[in-house]
Structure 1
Amino acid sequence: MLKFILILICIKLGYSYPEDAPNSTCITMMLYHNVVPKQCQSKYIIQSEISEYNINDIIRITVRSSTNIDYFKRILLIAKNQNNQHIIGTWSITNSLIKTISCNGIENTAITHSSDDDKLQIEALWHAPSIISEEKIIIEATIVTSNDEIYVDCFNIILTPKQTNLLRIQSIATDTERSILTKTKTNITWNYIEDTVTVRVTAGLMNVGEWVAMGFSLDREMGDDYVFICQVSSTGNATLRRMHTKRGKRPPLPSSVEVNVIDTTYEDGFAICQFSFNTTSQQVDDEPEPIVIERNYYLLFSGGILRTDEQIAKHNFTFVSTQPYQLQKSQIINFDEPLITTTTTVPQTNDVGVDINWTYASGITSVKMKINNLRTSQWLALGLSLDDFMGQDHVFICQHLSNDTISLQRFINPGGHSRPVLASTIVNPGGSLNVTREKFEDGIAYCDFTLSNFVDTSRQSRQNDIPKLSQTANYRPLIAFGNLDSSNILIRHAQDSRIPLKRDVSLNRPETIVYNVQATGSGLMKAHGIIMSFTWIVLVSTGILIARYFKSLWPNKKICNKAVWFAIHRTIMTSVATLTLIAFILILVYKKGQWVSQHTRLQFVHSIVGILVVSFSIIQPFMALFRCHPEEHNRFIFNYAHATVGFSALTLSVVAIFLTMFFTQFEFQSKKQWAILVVWTCWLPIIFSIFEIIEIYFRKFSSSKGNLNSFDMNDPRGNTTTQTVPTPIIQNRKKDRIKQFAILIHILIAIALALTLAILIGQS
C-alpha cells in the first residue's frame, strides 16, 4: 500500500479535455495551472491566409515551427474579441492531429491537440460569425513543448473586419433598423398590455418555401435565445412557431413555452404573422431564460429557405439591432432597402451567355470559359453536381469586378442554399486549380484554368460531407449567374438564374457546354439545319415514293417527252442534290473550312455521316446521266445501285438528324424535338408499308379475276360487240386514286414535321 501511494505521488499530473475545457482555461489560455509559462521566443509562428474577414468567412489558420527542429506536443487555439476577450466564431479541423472542444458550453469554440505526438505544424479552419462586430479579432495560441515548457500569450494574430461591413454597421440609424444583407420591406411592431407582448411581423418579397425569424437576445449574438419563426410552406400557407437556440443549437429546436397565434396569412408575396406571448412564464428545463419586461433585449432578425421537409435550414441573411429594447415600450421597426455604401446600379443578367470547353491530356484537364455580356459587378458560375440540384457541388465562378478586372475562384457549395465557401478552406477538395487566364476584351470575359494532381477517389472516406472532385466521375453541369455588391461580394442568384443542363460530363474527356450563346455566324448553322431537315424529310422521301410506286400512273401523259413520274422524280432529286450542296457549303463557311475535331465525338460522327449523305446525293444524278437504256441487258445493275444508294442516303439522313439532338449549340432541352424525330422515324416504314400493301393487294386481286372482258348475256355466242371496260383497268384506276391520296397524306405529314423542326431550330 505504501509503494502504491509513493507511485501516485511521483506521477506527473496530466491534463486532457476530451469534450470541454474549463472556463478558466479558455480565459487564461493556461493548459497547466501548476507550470510557470516560459519567456516568449520566436520558435513558432501563427499565420492567416487573409488579414480581413467577412460575414461567414472560413479562414485557414496555421501554427507552425519557425525551424525544422522545434517540435511541439500540445496546443490551445481560440479566437476572441480584442477588447472584451469574448470568444468569437467556431472552428473545424483539417486533420487528425487536432480536435475541437467547447468553451462556456458552446461547441467547437476552441482547437486543441488530439495526441501528444511531436508536431511541426497544425492547420485549422476558423468560421467567422454571421454578425460582424466593429472590434478586431485576435486569434491566440498556447503551445506546449514538454510538461514543464509552455508558452502563453506569445503567439497571436489579429483579423480586421472588412471596412465595408463597418460602414454598414455604423450607418444604421437608431430610429430605423435596416437589414445588413438583402432582405427588404419587412415591418415589426409590438406593444405591451398586462404582461402580454403582442407582435406583428409583416415580411415582404417572400416566396413559397421561405422563412423569417425574430428573436430577443441579451447580447448581440445568437445563442440561448427564444426566436419566433414565420414561414411559408410549400403549399403557400403561413405558420408561426416558437423555437429556441439553447447552447447555440443550429437549427433551433421547438419550444414548449406557449405562444398565442393570432393571425397568419400569405398573399401577393407578403407574409403576416401576428402572435402574443406572456412575460411571466416560468423557466423550462433545457430552454433559455424566460423573456421578461424591464430587461434590455437586442432584436435579432434572419431569414432563409425551408428544407424539403419544411424544416428550418441555415439562414441566408442575419440582422442584429444596434440598440437594445425593452418590451414594455411599444416599437415600430422597419427593414427597408438594403444598405449599400456606394450607389451601384445592379445590372441584369438574363442575357449572359457562356461557351465552356475543356480538353484532357496526361492527367490535366484544361478548361476555357468564354462569357458574353458579363457586365461589371456580375458573376457566372459553372457547377459540377452529382444531380440536378445545388448542394455538395464544386463551383468555378468567373467574376467581373467593379474595377473592370476579371477574377476566377473555386468554391465548394456545402449543401442546400448555404453560401459557397472557398475551396482553399477545404482539405484536399480534389485536384489542384491553376488559373491560366483572367481577361476582359471586346466585351467578352475569359476565365481559363487547369485541374490536375487528382488522387484516387475510390479510397475517399464516406464521412466526408463534400465528395472530392474527380476526373472519372460523371457530373451534371449547372450554370448560374448573378450580381456582385459594391464590395465585390457575391449576391445570391435569382431562382430562375440557375440552369441544370440535361446531360452528363466528365473531366477526363473533351466536353463542350454552351448556354445562351448566339455565336458569330450561328445563323449559318441554323440555315444548314433547316435546309437539311426540309430536304431529307420532305423532298427525298417523296421522290423515292414516286419513283417506286407511281410508274404506272399517267401512262399516256408526258412532260418534256418523258414519263410524268420520271420528270417529277428527276426534278425533286436534282433539287435535293442542289439544296444538300448549299447546306454543306453553309456549314463549311460556319466552320471556316476546318473539320470537326474528333474530341467532340457526337459532332465528329455527325460530320462523317453527313459527308456520306452529301456524297450519295451528288452521286445519284451523275449515276443517272450514265445509265443504259431500259431495254439493255445490264440495266438491272443501275437499278439496284441507284436504289441502294438512295435508300442508304435516306437512312443516314435520319441518323444525322438524330445526332444533332445532342448538340449543346442548339440547347435542345425539351421533348418536342425528340417527339418529331420519333414520329418521323416511325412514319417512314409505315408509309412504305402502306404502298407495298396496296401493290400486293391489287396484284393478287388482278390475278384472281383474270384478264377477261365482259359480254352481253343475251348473246350466248359472243358475236355482239360490247362497249364494256376490262376489269383490270377499273382496278388500276382505283389503285391509282388510293396511292394519290396516300402520297398527299405523306407530303402533308412530312411538311408539318419539317416545318415544326425548322421553327425549333430557328428558336434554339
Structure 2
Amino acid sequence: MKTFRRRPFHGIVLWFIFQLIKDVNSYSNGAPTFVCQSMIPGHGVSAQNSVAPYSITPAQPQTEGSKVKLMLTSPSKEEFTGFLVQGRTSATSNNTIGSFISLPEDAKTIDCNNIKGSAATQSNNSKRNSVELEWEAPPDYDGSVTFLATVVKNKQTFWVGIESAPVHVKRSADAPSSGISTTFPPVSPVLSEIFSAEQDIYSGCGKTKNCLGLPEGCISVRNCTTAVSVRPLGLKYQFDMIAKQSEYVAFALSDDQLMGADNVVECIHDGANGVKAYRSWNVANAKKNMREYYEQTGFSLVTGSYADGYIYCRILHDSLNTLNDITFDLENNPYYLLLAAGSSLKPNSVGYHDIARGSTADSRKLSDLRAVVPHDPIYDDCNVLKNCFGYPDDCINDESCTGIVTVLVEGGRYQFELKGKTSGYIAVGLSNDTMMGGDSVMECVYDPNSPSSNIKLFMSWNRPGEKSNTRNKVKQTGVNLLSSSYEDGNIYCKFTRDVKTTVEGKIFDLANDKYYLLLAAGSAVKSEHVRYHDIFATSSGQLKALSDVGSFGAASKLYIRLHGAFMIAAWIGFASLGIVLARYFKQTWVGVSHCGKDVWFAWHRFFMILTWLLTIAGFVLIFVEIGEWVQGSSQTHAILGVVASVLCFIQPFMAAFRPHPGGRRRPLFNWLHWLVGNTAHIFAIVAIFLAVQLKKAELPDWMDWILVAFVAFYVLVHLILSLFGCISERQGAKRINAFPMNDMHTSRSPLNNMDRKRDGVYSGFRKFILFLHFVVIIALSTVLILIVVLAPIERQWTSLQNKWNM
C-alpha cells in the first residue's frame, strides 16, 4: 500500500518537474525544437482566438538578394516576453525554409526540420515590444516565403500563427543553381500587383489621405487584414481597399459608428480573378444590407484584382451623392468611415463580415487631408550650415515656402539655391536696404521654348530710384549655373556666384560686405528683363554677412498691419456708426445734451474725428512703408484709398466753414457734406475689399465673406431705419426726413428750441437698432482687425493648434 501510494506522489512530482522544465525551455530560454511544427508553447493553456496585437512585417514584398529584414512588433506598444519566428513556403505548409542570420542580443536561433538556424526565438524572458530580424533564403531558392510567428505576452496569454505578407524571393543572377526545379511557384503577377497596391495604400496615411485599417494599429506596421485609404482627387474622392482571405471588402459613409442608414460601396470577387463594385445601403435599425434596389451611380471602379484570397480595388466616388433620400456631401460634411470584409457572398448581397469590421474613432470631413508637399532637400541644414530665407514668414520650419533662397558658404565658394512656385521667374537681390533700387539681382527664369535647359540664370540690376529691373548692361559672367529643374509648376536652380563682382559701377563683395536679401517671384517675363513680381515680394529684416549662418527673418510688416487695422477701424467701425447717428437720430434723446450739444451730434463728431485721425495715420504709414507709388494689381486699391483719404481729409475743414444754420447756402453745404462723406465711405469699403487680393497683405480669401456680411448688415440697418422714419412721418409725429438736409432748429442746444421736448415716434425701437448696430459693427471690426494684424491668420492658427497639442 505504501508503494502504491508513493507512485502517484512521485508521478505528480515528476509531472510538475517536467512541466517546469518545459516551461523554462519554451518560455524563459526560448522555444524547444519539438514545437517547430505546431509553434504552440507548452504552457498548458490554449492560444488566444482574438486578433493578435502583434504583427510580423517584411521590409519589402520582393527581394533579389535572398535576404529579408523582418520586424516583429506591436502597433499598440504592448510588450511580450517570448516569440518564435519561422519562414515557410506558404502559410498552410509545414516546409520550413531559410535561416536567420542576424538577431538582437536577447535572441537565438534553433534548428527546425534539420535546417540550421531556420527559426528565431528569445534567449531570455525580458520584456520587449519589438524584435528586428534578418532572414536569408537558400542560395538556389526562387519562390514565395511567408513568415509565421508565435508571440507570448505572458504564460497564460499567447498568439500562434501570426502571418506576414508573402515575400517573393528571386534568385540572384550569380547564385548557383542546383539543377533541381523547385516545386514552389513564384508569386503571380496579379498578386505582385496587389502587394504593390497595398504598400501604396499605407503610403501617406495621416498626411496626404485618411486611412482606416484592421486590426487596430496595423497601418503603422503595414500589415492589415483589411485597409482603406481615401484622398481628394479633383472634384472626386479616390478610395483604395484591400482585404486578405476575403471574397469582398466594403466601405461605408455613416453619421455614427454603427451599421445603419449608411452609404456603402462593395468590391466583390466575381469569378477567376475578376472584381466588381456595387453600391448598397445599410438599412437603419435592421442590420441588413440591400443592393438590388439602388442605382449604381455616383461612383466607378477604376481597377480591381483578386488572387489567392487577396482582393483589391480602387473606387472613384463623386463628392455629392443622394441615396435613399439622403444627400452625402463628402466635401463639406463629416462622416465616420466604416470598413468590413468577409469570406463569403450571398445572391445580390455580401455575406457576414467575418474577416474584419470596424470604424474610424471620429467623424471628419474627407477633404481635411489634402496632398502635402513631401520633404524637400532644399530645407536640409537650413540656418545650421546655410542661410535660408523664404516667403511667407516662418515657412522654413514647416517646409511650406512659396519661394525660398539658401546661401551655403564653403571657404571662398558662395552657393545659392532658389526655388519657387511659379512658371515665370524667381529672383534674389543683394541690397543695402529693404527697398528695391541699386541692387544686384540673380534671376532663375523659366523658358519653355529652350531646346537645352528650361531654366536660365541671369544677373540683373534694380535701377536706383525706379521700380524697374534691367539686365541689358549687366555682364553675365559673375554666376555659374550648377543644376536646375522645372517640375509641377516649381522652378529650381542651384548656382555659384563670384565673391567679388561689379554691377553698374557698384562693387558687391560677398566676403566683406553685409546685405539684405530681397526675394521675389512673378508669373511673366520679357526677353530683356523680368516683369512685375505679382506672386510675392519680400525682404529680410537683417543686414548681415552671407557667411554669418543664422535665421534671415522677414522685414517687419508692422506699418502694413497698422495701416490695415487703422483703415478697418476707421471705415468699417467708426464711420459706419457716425453716419447712422447723423442720418437717423436727430429726433432721439431730445432734451439731453453733451457739452451743450445734441447727443447725436456729439457722438457723430466724436466718431468722425476718430475716422479722420485713423485715416490720416494709416495713409502716412503706408507711404512710409512703400516709399513710392505702387505697381501692378495694387494700383486700383491705392487709387481708391487715396481718393477716400483725400475726401476724408477735407470733410472737417468743410464743416469748420459751414454756413450758419439759417443761411441761404446751408442746404447746399448739407448736401455736399453728405455726398463727400458717403462717397469717401464707399470708396474706402471697396478699397478694403481689394486689399484682400493683395499678396503683401497675406489675407485669406474667405475674409471677403466677412466684408459681405458687413455690407449686408449695414444696408439692412439703413433700410429698417428709413422705413420706420417714413412710418413716423405718416403718423403725424415730428417729422424725420430720410435725407435731413435742412436744419430743424437754429441752435444745436435743445434748450433753445421749445418745439423739441420729446423724442420722435419709435425712438425706443431706433435705440434698440442702434445698440444692435453698435454691437455687430464692433464685433465685425474686431474680427477683421485681428485677421489683418495676425496675417497670415491660417499659419498663426495652425501654429497655435500645434502648441495646444504639445
State TM-score, norm by structure 2: 0.38
State TM-score, norm by structure 1: 0.40
